[in-house]
Structure 1
Amino acid sequence: MKNFLLIIATSFILFSCSKNDDDIQNVNTSFFNINTGNKWVYNRYAINALGSTSSIIQIDSVLVIGDTLINSISYKKIEHKEFTVNSNNLLQTYYEYLRIDSNDHLVDTNGYVFHPGFDSQYQNVYTHLSSLHLDYNTGNYVQDTWGVSTFQNVAPQNIIVEGQNYFVYDYLGNFVGNSSLGIPNNTIHYMYEEGIGMVLRRCPFVSSASNYYEDRLVSYVIN
């Protein structure tokens, strides 16, 4: 099974803080910055059971396009452009719509928390489901439960990503796999730095306790 654990298919995102009295209309809040024009670029690697890192297998370019209203609530429209590495072909373009709620959490249109910022008390329990597939016994389309993750910030730490030092808040998910499907326990990491955004994301394969994808920040422009 080649699937890896994503909380939400498009949960690549980032963001942090910027306060400037001259630009107060474009400033969002204390930890996150989703100002129009901000841009981040990530390289994706695959790491195997021996700890060997692959060559870059994918590049994600992320841009904050501007504001949009959804159900009378203002969100930022976030554009992702994913490229292959060798041929630099555009694989896909997709969009997210994010805002910062009253708790200073980064959320989507469903209120799902991508990262709680400084908030170390917030906790979320998330059930990971497979994509819809046909159950040949019943003839119905079903989703398997892969497992359940409990997410909460752990103590901030210094890490080095692509040769750069960052001080990150790791929104860590302790994943308990569905033993009846042979899915092992694991951890998921969403590491953000205040004022920069998402620095690193680590998502394990469903079928492996050792193999995972890692998305690493390589460049950014913050307004």
Structure 2
Amino acid sequence: MKKILSVLALSAIVLSCSDDDSNSTQESFFNLKDGNLWVYKKYIANAEGVESFSGITDSVTVSGNQTIGDVSYVRLLHEEYNQSIKVNEREEFVRVDESGYLVNEQGVVIHPGADFNFQDTQPANDGSEVYGELNYTLNEMQNVTVEGQNYSVYPYVAMFVSDPEHNLPEGVGCFNNYSAGIGMVATHTRFVSGTNYIEYRLTDYDIN
């Protein structure tokens, strides 16, 4: 079974000083208002880069809040469908932290908003073994076309560097592309064993 590149969760949430206006601006950037809805198509690509639609769509809804360790998080409900049949459901918990970054409940930065000075390095692993590292940077804003729609996005990109023992193909490991005020437009994750990847692309949204 192929394994997806992932990162170890940080042991503490990133904290830094910021004023209320700055954090409010970042919350508007990610737009996590209750009831917001995004729908994504799941694509799979082989080692030659040939992509195909998996038949899966992921419907993501902002559904209230959840307190975890005395910290309030936004609850994202993922409902995956194969045509009209629901095949999976899961929850995700995120928040905009004191630095204005979008983080998960482990404190891992999902996207740093518009902070081009932010950089991060995380181990690349499959949950049991480390294969190298992922070096994250926020690239310059780009205009992209996703599923026939044009967006201006901030690409948060992780370059995979293999350790000598595994000697795996290097390059783009994953990226999260966010459009200010809209949300995630595309997310890409490479398989550990090669250049195969999975990509979710925004097809529709209904936001406040």
Do the structures match in fold with TM over 0.5? yes
Q: Is the 8 A contact 2:7 2:125 kept in 1?
A: no
Q: Output aligned runs, 1:1-223, within 5 Å.
A: 1-7=1-7, 29-85=27-83, 88-131=84-127, 143-187=128-172, 188-209=174-195, 211-223=196-208
Identity %: 37
* C-alpha RMSD of the superposition: 2.1
| Offset from partner CA, 1:103-143 (integer Å, 9 cap, x none) | 11011222111100001111111112223xxxxxxxxxxx2
Q: Tell me, what secondary structure is at the counterpart of 2:192? A: coil
| Offset from partner CA, 1:38-87 (integer Å, 9 cap, x none) | 111110111223332213332111011112222222211111112224xx
Question: TM-score, structure 2 length as denominator?
Answer: 0.85
| Offset from partner CA, 1:7-59 (integer Å, 9 cap, x none) | 479xxxxxxxxxxxxxxxx9972411111001111101112233322133321
- Structure 2 gap ranges (5+): 10-23
What amino acid does structure 2 have at the position aligned with 1:198?
A: M
Q: Tell me, what secondary structure is at the counterpart of 1:95? A: strand
Q: Tell me, what secondary structure is at the counterpart of 1:36? A: coil
Q: Is the 8 A contact 1:31 1:104 kept in 2?
A: no
What amino acid does structure 1 have at the position aligned with 2:47?
A: A
Q: Is the 8 A contact 2:8 2:122 kept in 1?
A: no
Q: Tell me, what secondary structure is at the counterpart of 1:29? A: helix
What amino acid does structure 2 have at the position aligned with 1:212?
A: Y
Q: Using a 3 Å threshold, how does the CA distance of structure 1 residues 166 and 45 change in structure 2: closer, same or farther?
A: same
| 2:16 alignment partner in structure 1 | none
What amino acid does structure 2 have at the position aligned with 1:124?
A: D
| 1:12 alignment partner in structure 2 | none
In 2, Cα distance between the equivalents of 1:201 and 1:7? 15
Structure 1 residue runs of 4 or more that deviate by more than 4 Å after TM superposition: none
In 2, Cα distance between the equivalents of 1:158 and 1:176? 27
* Paired residues, number: 193
